[in-house]
Amino acid sequence: MDAFVTRKKRKLSPETSATAQEDSTDVKLAILSSLHPGIDQEMLLDVMLAHDGNVEATSQALKAPDVPRKSGTGVAMPAQSSLRTFAISSGACGSSTPSKRVKLLSRKGTTLHLYDPVDISEHTPCTIIHNFLPADEANSLLQELLEESKSFEKITFKLFDNVVSSPHTSGFYVSTYKELQEQKHEYVYNGSRMTDVRTLTPQLERVKARVQEAVNKEIQARIRTHHGGKKLRYQSPAPWTPNAAFVNCYNGPQESVGWHSDQLTYLGPRPVIGSLSLGVTREFRVRRIIPQDGDSTTTTTTSNSNSNSNSNSNSNSNSNSNSNSNSNSNSNSNSNSNSNSNSNSNSNNQDLAGQIAIHLPHNSLLVMHADMQEEWKHSVSPTQAIDPHPVAGNRRINITYRHYRQGFHPRNTPRCPCGVPAVLRVVTKKRENWGRYFWMCYTGNVAGKEGCDFFRWAEFDDDGNTVGGE
Ligand SMILES: O=C(O)CCC(=O)C(=O)O
Ligand SMILES: [Fe+2]
């Protein structure tokens, strides 16, 4: 812990530094969460802010006997409520027109619980379909993945002097044998190669086709209802065709995943992800990291107009990076120790309007739309109590279907002087650069690793294809 608190700040470019500072809050939260698993994330954040972002002081304070722990009586599915009860209406609630959207009463430090698909679509960058698969198909897939998950492992990563492991296990599946070989030998995740890559089981393959169809419909509906009929800038106009799936297993109420955005490196900008939940119901939390008045469209437009100023760097290829979010919560610790002075501004970005908890029951498909990864963070928080599932017991299985874009294959993306593919990131902190994408040394994603200071603005055409020889 000392090493963490006293470590010298690495020199970074302003954009890298800004993003890393913001992410350092997540790393700190992940550490605090692992040191104090019984304390709610919101409480951790509040206490950390009260201690100017100092992890050690926060941890000491949390050892006090009077710190409220999570109640042991929580149930996984509280009574159904609709956001309509919490919202101030400025027009028809449930309307899909952006101008008529209701204003949320969720405030910094509070959590709104959403169950109703209309509320979820209205107030988050996600849509949900309950009872997605025929019941017997869902159960049979669940059974298969429970069996598979027996050989899943926790992802481990280095956090300064400690090796930390993800608080759940996972497995990675791709469509073809060729992709499997490429994943093992060409893709790089946090500087390492993935050794356990599997091909989609026949059931995962069959369900993939159903997910693909549903997600494409949802994408079109979202574009109509939320974006005036126009896809987001940089969003791919091509139909969404998933070719990979991460399968996570959360065994028991304490298994979780910290706050993160899924890595863009191999998915490209504005990715869409289809996330199928099976087994125990858990809370999927989202929180906006770009203020609403810098709304997605504004944000992107602003960023785009900046993007011609990249004299410094466009060039070769596009990129890669971790697909798996999990690694994100570990990531970017590079500037952790600078924290004190920025913790306030971090918090502004980190918890702008409170968190929203989306309850994900067995057999629900959540679509994370193109406005999600760049502007929001998500997590699955630990909880005290769950309702056991008749097939899965205490376990929850989550499958995220993803599309690895060919243009973002590591052979097409910039390499940094460290010899590995750079990672693709987006500016979320410095207002003047919101929405600008950049490539940076992968070590910016690996806590405790001193890498090079490789930094290059990324340029895309409107459809998210790399330009400028990248
Ligand atoms: O388990 C979930 O619902 C989300 C998992 C996730 O965020 C991820 O794998 O990136
Ligand atoms: Fe994720």
Q: What is the 3-state secondary structure (H, E, C) of 189-243?
A: ECCECCCCEEECCHHHHHHHHHHHHHHHHHHHHHHHHHCCCCCCCCCCCCCCCCC
Q: Shortest CA distance to 218 belongs to which of 269, 270, 273?
A: 273
Q: Shortest CA distance to 367 belongs to which of 463, 271, 278?
A: 271
Interface confidence (ipTM) of the complex: 0.99
257 Cα to the center of ligand 2, angstroms: 8
Q: What is the pLDDT of residue 86?
A: 37
**b/e burial code for range 50-73 (CB count within 10 A of at least 16 → b):** ebebbbeebbeebeeeeeeebeee
**CB under 5 Å of ion ligand 2: residues:** 262, 325
Q: Give the side-chain half-sphere CA count within 13 A for 112.
A: 26
Q: Does 314 score more than 70 pLDDT?
A: no
**Assigned token pair, 332:** 């970017």
Q: Does 427 score more than 50 pLDDT?
A: yes
Instruction: Give the neighbor-by-neighbor strand order of the sheet with 376-380.
Output: 111-114, 355-360, 282-288, 376-380, 257-260
- The total of other beta-carbon atoms located within 10 Å of residue 427's CB is 25
Q: What is the pLDDT of residue 214?
A: 98
377 Cα to the center of ligand 2, angstroms: 8
Nearest CA to ligand 1 atom 2: 398
φ, ψ for residue 38 (rounded to 5)?
A: -85, 0
Nearest CA to ligand 1 atom 8: 325
State mean pLDDT over 122-137.
97
Stated pTM of the model: 0.73
Nearest CA to ligand 1 atom 6: 325
Cα–Cα distance list, 126 to 13, 93, 284, 360 (Å): 33, 17, 11, 12
How far does CA 22 lie from the centroid of its chain? 14
Find out whether the beta carbon of 248 lies less than 6 Å from any atom of ligand 1: yes
Pocket test for ligand 1, best of 149, 267, 325 (most atoms within 8 A of CB): 325
Find out whether the beta carbon of 398 lies less than 6 Å from any atom of ligand 1: yes
Q: Which of 12-26, 112-126, 328-342 has the highest mean pLDDT?
A: 112-126
State mean pLDDT over 264-293.
94
**b/e burial code for range 14-32 (CB count within 10 A of at least 16 → b):** ebbbbbbbbbbbbbbbbbb
Q: Could you say which ligand is closest to the alpha carbon of residue 395? A: 1
376 Cα to the center of ligand 1, angstroms: 13
Q: What is the pLDDT of residue 81?
A: 40
Find out whether the beta carbon of 283 lies less than 6 Å from any atom of ligand 1: no
Assign 162 to helix, strand or coil: strand
Summary mean pLDDT of the chain: 75
- pLDDT-based confidence at residue 139 (cuts at 50, 70, 90): very high
17-21, 321-325, 411-415: the lowest-pLDDT one: 321-325
φ, ψ for residue 364 (rounded to 5)?
A: -110, 140
Find out whether the beta carbon of 332 lies less than 6 Å from any atom of ligand 1: no
Q: Could you say which ligand is closest to the alpha carbon of residue 401? A: 1
Instruction: Report yes or no: 345 and 339 within 8 Å, Cβ to Cβ.
Output: no
Give the Cα separation of 434 and 297 in Å (integer). Answer: 11
Q: Shortest CA distance to 171 belongs to which of 144, 191, 151, 142?
A: 151
Find out whether the beta carbon of 454 lies less than 6 Å from any atom of ligand 1: no
Q: What is the pLDDT of residue 320?
A: 28
State mean pLDDT over 31-41.
67
Find out whether the beta carbon of 400 lies less than 6 Å from any atom of ligand 1: yes
Q: Shortest CA distance to 452 belongs to which of 420, 408, 405?
A: 420
Task: Please name the residues in contact with 311: beta carbons below 8 A apart, sequence gap of 6 or more.
Answer: none
Enclosing H/E stretch for 276? strand 273-279
The alpha-carbon radius of gyration of the chain (Å, integer) is: 21
The neighbouring-strand residues paired with 378 are 260, 286
Pocket test for ligand 1, best of 170, 172, 284, 329 (most atoms within 8 A of CB): 284
Give the Cα separation of 253 and 392 in Å (integer). Answer: 13
Q: Could you say which ligand is closest to the alpha carbon of residue 324? A: 1
Give the Cα separation of 24 and 34 in Å (integer). Answer: 15
Q: What is the pLDDT of residue 449?
A: 67
Task: Please name the residues in contact with 239: beta carbons below 8 A apart, sequence gap of 6 or more.
Answer: 212, 216
State mean pLDDT over 293-314.
33
How far does CA 429 lie from the centroid of its chain? 16
Q: Who has greater pLDDT, 100 or 92?
A: 100
Task: Please name the residues in contact with 156: beta carbons below 8 A apart, sequence gap of 6 or more.
Answer: 163, 164, 165, 166
Task: Please name the residues in contact with 236: beta carbons below 8 A apart, sequence gap of 6 or more.
Answer: 268, 270, 405, 463, 464
- The total of other beta-carbon atoms located within 10 Å of residue 185's CB is 10
Find out whether the beta carbon of 325 lies less than 6 Å from any atom of ligand 1: yes
306 Cα to the center of ligand 1, angstroms: 32
Cα–Cα distance list, 206 to 150, 175, 360 (Å): 22, 11, 22
Q: What is the pLDDT of residue 400?
A: 98
Nearest CA to ligand 1 atom 10: 325
Find out whether the beta carbon of 324 lies less than 6 Å from any atom of ligand 1: yes
Find out whether the beta carbon of 322 lies less than 6 Å from any atom of ligand 1: no
Give 216-247 pLDDT, tens digit per residue: 999 999 999 999 999 999 999 999 999 999 99
Give the Cα separation of 131 and 295 in Å (integer). Answer: 32
